[in-house]
Every structure is written in structure tokens, then in C-alpha cells.
């Protein structure tokens, strides 16, 4: 039983959740932040290392220019003020996966400040603005591996020095649901910018949550705890709920909430203390002596801003205006940039956005889930799907035949016209052929035909089904209905 189920609602409802999030995002660069080692995920442990990222004596860092550009793109998308001058600092702490004994980051003079992210921007909901305190550049630490050797911890330093941005929000979130919404919009924005692959499974997007509880109506912040070890957005939501319930229970019992770091145990659905929470002075920040101030020209910053691609909120607004999509369709079709581009390519070429949306959300997404394939590797490209839809629209194949053609396209990669011809699915509409199938169906079902002629019109669908079966799906349903009505004297 979870803590949320134990705490009475009468106690829980007296308190308000206050949440701020710290999101660490690995930037999509080829090399690390301060050296030429590969930043690629999944290499043999401890092979992507050098004297710089290992912190060996005499090794000097050199800043990765692409990391700066990607960080500035992200900061602009969150409407931050990007500082023309920012300073790198050393954050000192000792841990096995931090070989230098410090992390190069930014402290009192970060790359960007005072931004915002809007959540809940849908036709059927009211938007909420979450303030972003800062966006700063830093390097990642290595990784501790606890499952390689029984009873021991192994260290992989391939990740040490990989470039990150940390996106810190103000404590503006008031529910676990809003925290999840914030993270999903943040992830989507970064993906649309091509700033990061935002893959939580590979650790390129990691979340730490600062949470406190206070009586409703209170304005002063309570004592916060930091929750770590959350590997999914739903995990973040569940962890926040569990920690909120824990704090509410303490406050209601008159016990203090301690400032500490908590670890989320997804198996047990509970949080547990890891250590007391550090304050900034514990890290003994001081300016990084081996890196000069990062100075960015205003002209360059304006150039980066002008080159930003269409952001998710802008794409959603345009899809509503140009294609008339509803809220549910928008959520699905703009969930990723490749999927949005795929849909738009079909919708523009075919000319009927609703039909394009139905096929993309139905057959295309269903196939992607079944085959565990990304849209970038999907075998049926937009021109081929458009060609298939045109065959249906032009009456050359039926809708049921189109699904058979689509399945064959997935297997062979052939064009829809080729498959339809090869498999005999081109729709038959000439009166002689259709008349022969109608005559056969009537001859085999004389009683049903008399009932149909007598006014039992629901049997028309039965006869259409019979004729479609006889024709192996090739008969034109519209012409069949016309012929049946004519034969019945309707």
C-alpha cells in the first residue's frame, strides 16, 4: 500500500504542493564539453577518456563551440535573457565518478536567466506560465555501476565531461500533474530544436525535483527536499506524490521536515533518505581558473535567435489554422518533430488533412508500435502513403483493399500502384462485371432479395458484403449500391 493511500484526504487537502525542477540535458554534440573525446552513448566503459576529462595534472580544458550554440538555442526558446558575458566555475565535491574532484559549471554568472515555459496550451485548457530561473552550461560526471560486480561498484568515465545544460525552474509548479506537463513540453521543445536527443533511458535527460509542502493560503516556502533517481516522467509524478504525502504527514504530526536528498524507489513506490541536502557554500564555488569568461556578441545572439526552427506551440497553432485539427489530433501529431513533418508532408500533397491524420494516427502509428520502429526509419514514406490515399479517393481501390496494400508496402517497400495491380486489387466499376456479381448474389439468396425488395433496406448492406466477397474486394461499393437500388426498383 502506498503512502498516498494511507494519509487521509482530510489531512492532505489542507496542504499545497510547491515544486521546482532542475533538468539536466545532454547536448547533441559529437565531442565532450572541454576535450575531443567522443560524447557518444554506449561505448566500451572507460574508452572515451583523455587527460582533460580525467583531470590529469597539466591538462587544460577548451570549450566546445557547438555546445555553446546549442545552449543558446535552448535559452532563446525559453525566452531567457542570454548574457553576453558568463563565467565558468568549479563546483567542488568528492565522489568516485568525478575524477577531477570538481565539476566545471556556471554559478553566479550563468549563460542565461529569467525565462519561461508555458504549459497547458490547448484549445480546451487554460495555459500556465512556469518561470525559468536560469539555463547554464556544465559538464557531466561519470557513472557509477552497481550491477556489474556483486557487492562492488564499478565506475565508467565515458560520460565524464559530456556537455550539459541545466534548466532550473522557479517553484511555480503546484501539482505532480503540472510537473509532468512541464517536463513533456520541455522535452518536446528541446527535440524540435535538435538540441538533444532527450533520451531518458540513456541519461540524456535527467530530472531532480525540489518539493515542499505548506498550508493552503500560506505564502512562505516550506523546507524542501530534493528527490532523485527518477527515470521517467510518470516516475517523477509518482515520486512527487509520495514525497508530498510524507511531508504532509510530518507537518500534521507537528514534526519538522528536514532538508535532505531523497531517492525514489519505483519498485516500492516510496521515497527514502539518501543524505542531508547540501547548500551552495558546501561546494566551495570559485571561478574556473583555466577558462576565460565566455563572451558572446549581440549580433551572434540575434543570428542564433533568428535561425530558430518552428517551436511546438507555434506548430500547433499553425496546424489548427491550416488543417483544422482538434486538441486530441494536435497532441498526437505534434508529439515529435519527425511525426509532425511526416503528417504535414502527406496532408499537403493529398489535400485532405483529416484523412491524412486518421491514417497517420491509425495505420502508421500502429505499425510503428508493433515493429518498434522510429518514424525516421519507417518504410512507408509520405509520398507512398499519399499515393495510396489517392488510389482510394480516385475509386481505384476500396478502403479495405488499401489496408491490404499498406500491409504489403510495409513488407516490400513497393509503390502502392504496383502492389494493387500485382495483387488484383484494382477496383472494378464496369457495369457488366458488377452486374454479374449482383446477379449471382441474388440467385443464391432469393428469399433475402424478396425481403429487400419488400422494403427491408438493411439487407442492402448484406448484399454489398456478399458481392464484395465474391469480387475479392475489387467491386466498387458505390456502383454496387446503385445497381442494387435500380434492380429493386428504388
End position of a domain, from candidates 273, 299, 325: 299
Of the residues 299, 321, 356, the one at which a domain ends: 299
Same domain, 89 and 164: yes
The pTM assigned to this predicted structure is: 0.83
Residue 447: strand, helix, or coil: helix
Select from 386, 299, 315, 376 the least CA-distant residue to 350: 386
For residue 407, what are the contacts with CB-CB under 8 A and spacing of at least 6?
none
Residue 486: what pLDDT? 86
User: Based on the domain organization, do 284 and 317 belong to the same domain?
Assistant: no
What is the rounded (10 degree) CA torsion for 484, 461, 455, 429? Answer: -10
Enumerate residues 6+ apart whose C-beta is below 8 A from 259. 223, 224, 225, 276, 277
Whole-angstrom Cα distance, residue 165 to residue 418?
50
Residue 203, sorted as left (phi over 0), alpha (psi -120 to 50) or beta, turns out to be left
Same domain as 293, residue 338: no
All three cell numbers of 135, joined, read: 539555463
Q: Which residues of 23-50 are buried (b: 16+ CB within 10 A; e: fewer)?
A: bbbbbbbebbbbbebebebeeebeebbe
Q: Are 116 and 193 members of one domain?
A: yes
- Asked if residue 442 and residue 328 are part of one domain, the reply reads no
End-to-end CA distance of the chain: 66
Residue reference for cell 542565461: 112
User: What integer pLDDT is reported at residue 487 of this predicted model?
Assistant: 84
| Separation between Cα atoms, residue 480 and residue 434, nearest integer Å | 7
**Residues 180, 31 share a domain:** yes
The cell numbers describing 230, all together, are 527518477
DSSP letter assigned to residue 31? B
Which pLDDT value is given to residue 1? 37
Per DSSP, 16 falls in state: E
* One domain, residues 63 and 188: yes
- Tally the domains of the chain: 3
Residues 408 and 466 in one domain: no
> Which residues sit opposite 102 in a β-bridge?
92
Residue at which a domain ends, from 299, 323, 338: 299
CA–CA gap between residue 64 and residue 32 (Å, rounded): 7
Beta strands in 231-387 (DSSP E): 260-265, 270-276, 286-287, 294-295
User: Domain containing 313: what range?
Assistant: 308-422
* Sheet strand arrangement including 102-106: 102-106, 88-92, 286-287
413 C-beta neighbours (distance < 10 Å), count: 11
C-alpha cell at 57: 595534472
User: Which residues, in sequence order, are bridge partners of residue 104?
Assistant: 90
- Within 94-227, residue ranges assigned H as helices are 176-193
Do residues 165 and 171 lie in contact, with contact meaning Cβ atoms separated by under 8 Å?
Answer: no
Say yes or no: 445 and 389 in one domain. no
Mean pLDDT, 10 residues at a time, the chain of 490 residues: 64 94 97 97 92 93 98 98 98 90 96 95 77 98 85 91 98 96 95 93 94 95 93 94 95 94 92 75 90 98 96 93 91 92 97 96 95 92 97 88 94 93 82 86 91 88 89 80 82
Q: Which ranges constitute the DSSP H helices of 78-173?
A: none
CATH of the domain at 481: 1.10.10.410
* 102 and 241, same domain (yes or no): yes
* All residues at 6 or more sequence positions from 202 whose CB lies less than 8 Å from its CB, including other chains: 41, 42
**Angle, vertex CA 13, rays to CA 7 and CA 14, nearest 5:** 105
- 124 lies in the same domain as 43: yes
**All 3 cell numbers of residue 185?**
513540453
On whether both 224 and 248 belong to a single domain, the answer is yes
Amino acid at each position: 500500500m502506498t503512502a498516498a493511500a494511507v494519509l487521509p484526504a482530510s489531512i492532505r487537502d489542507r496542504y499545497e504542493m510547491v515544486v521546482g525542477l532542475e533538468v539536466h540535458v545532454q547536448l547533441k554534440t559529437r565531442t565532450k564539453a572541454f576535450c575531443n573525446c567522443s560524447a557518444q552513448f554506449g561505448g566500451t566503459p572507460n574508452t572515451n577518456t583523455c587527460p582533460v576529462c580525467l583531470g590529469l595534472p597539466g591538462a587544460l580544458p577548451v570549450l566546445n563551440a557547438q555546445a555553446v550554440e546549442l545552449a543558446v538555442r535552448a535559452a532563446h526558446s525559453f525566452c531567457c535573457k542570454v548574457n553576453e558575458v558568463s563565467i565558468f566555475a568549479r563546483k567542488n565535491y568528492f565522489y568516485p565518478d568525478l575524477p577531477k574532484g570538481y565539476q566545471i559549471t556556471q554559478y553566479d554568472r550563468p549563460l542565461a536567466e529569467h525565462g519561461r515555459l508555458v504549459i497547458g496550451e490547448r484549445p480546451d485548457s487554460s495555459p500556465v506560465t512556469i518561470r525559468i530561473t536560469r539555463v547554464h552550461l556544465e559538464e557531466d560526471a561519470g557513472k557509477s555501476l552497481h550491477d556489474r560486480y556483486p557487492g562492488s561498484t564499478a565506475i565508467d568515465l565515458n560520460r565524464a565531461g559530456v556537455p550539459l545544460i541545466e534548466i532550473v525552474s522557479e517553484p511555480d509548479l503546484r501539482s505532480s500533474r503540472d510537473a509532468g506537463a512541464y517536463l513533456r513540453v520541455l522535452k518536446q521543445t528541446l527535440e524540435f530544436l535538435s538540441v538533444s536527443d532527450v533520451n531518458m533511458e540513456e541519461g540524456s535527460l535527467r530530472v531532480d525535483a525540489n518539493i515542499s509542502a505548506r498550508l493552503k493560503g500560506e505564502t512562505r516556502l516550506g523546507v524542501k527536499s530534493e528527490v532523485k533517481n527518477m527515470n521517467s516522467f510518470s516516475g517523477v509524478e509518482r515520486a512527487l506524490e509520495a514525497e508530498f504525502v510524507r511531508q504532509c504527514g510530518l507537518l500534521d504530526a507537528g514534526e519538522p521536515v528536514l532538508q535532505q536528498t531523497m531517492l525514489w524507489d519505483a519498485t516500492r513506490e516510496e521515497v527514502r533518505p539518501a543524505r542531508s541536502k547540501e547548500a551552495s557554500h558546501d561546494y566551495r564555488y570559485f571561478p574556473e581558473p583555466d577558462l576565460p569568461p565566455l563572451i558572446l556578441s549581440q549580433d551572434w545572439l540575434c543570428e542564433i535567435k533568428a535561425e530558430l526552427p518552428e517551436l511546438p506551440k507555434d506548430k500547433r497553432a499553425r496546424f489548427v489554422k491550416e488543417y483544422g485539427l482538434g486538441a486530441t489530433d494536435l497532441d498526437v501529431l505534434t508529439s515529435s518533430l519527425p511525426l509532425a513533418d511526416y503528417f504535414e508532408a502527406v496532408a499537403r500533397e493529398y489535400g485532405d488533412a483529416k484523412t491524412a491524420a486518421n491514417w497517420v494516427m491509425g495505420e502508421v502509428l500502429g505499425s510503428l508500435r508493433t515493429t518498434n520502429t522510429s518514424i525516421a526509419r519507417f518504410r512507408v514514406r509520405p509520398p507512398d502513403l499519399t499515393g495510396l490515399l489517392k488510389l482510394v479517393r480516385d475509386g481505384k481501390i476500396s478502403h479495405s483493399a488499401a489496408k491490404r496494400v499498406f500491409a504489403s508496402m510495409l513488407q516490400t517497400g513497393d509503390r502502392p500502384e504496383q502492389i494493387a495491380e500485382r495483387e488484383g486489387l484494382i477496383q472494378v466499376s464496369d457495369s457488366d462485371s458488377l452486374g454479374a456479381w449482383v446477379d449471382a448474389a441474388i440467385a443464391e439468396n432469393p428469399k433475402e432479395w424478396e425481403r429487400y425488395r419488400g422494403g427491408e433496406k438493411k439487407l442492402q448492406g448484406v448484399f454489398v458484403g456478399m458481392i464484395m466477397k465474391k469480387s475479392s474486394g475489387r467491386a466498387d461499393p458505390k456502383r454496387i449500391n446503385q445497381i442494387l437500388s435500380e434492380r429493386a426498383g428504388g
